[in-house]
């Protein structure tokens, strides 16, 4: 029984080192709480935390894409403004 608990603790420590922010937070909480919490983390907590990390990553990527589109639109507007100013000078 103690050997299994140690193996589980090592698994959670590996996840702690490689996971996203939510996974790391949940893993550390489990490690701090003890063997029962570690088992619960491995059974369901990891998956829940990983889903939260994935959702956050998807939101970040969507927000980043929106920012890039806005920057592209502003750049295009600036180019049009330059062309219009040049046309007025002629």
Position 32 pLDDT exceeds 90: yes
Nearest to 22 by CA among 1, 45, 4: 45
What pLDDT is attached to residue 82? Answer: 86
- pTM, whole model, 2 decimals? 0.72
Q: Where would I find the H helices in the chain?
A: 2-18, 21-33, 35-40, 46-89
- Confidence band for 45, pLDDT divided at 50, 70 and 90: very high
């Amino acid at each position: 029984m103690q050997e299994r608990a140690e193996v589980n603790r090592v698994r959670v420590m590996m996840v702690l080192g490689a996971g996203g922010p939510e996974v790391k937070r949940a893993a550390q909480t489990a490690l701090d709480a003890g063997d029962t919490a570690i088992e619960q983390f491995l059974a369901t907590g990891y998956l829940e935390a990983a889903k939260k990390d994935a959702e956050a990553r998807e939101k970040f990527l969507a927000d980043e894409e929106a920012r890039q589109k806005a920057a592209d639109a502003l750049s295009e507007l600036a180019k049009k403004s330059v062309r219009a100013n040049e046309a007025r000078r002629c």
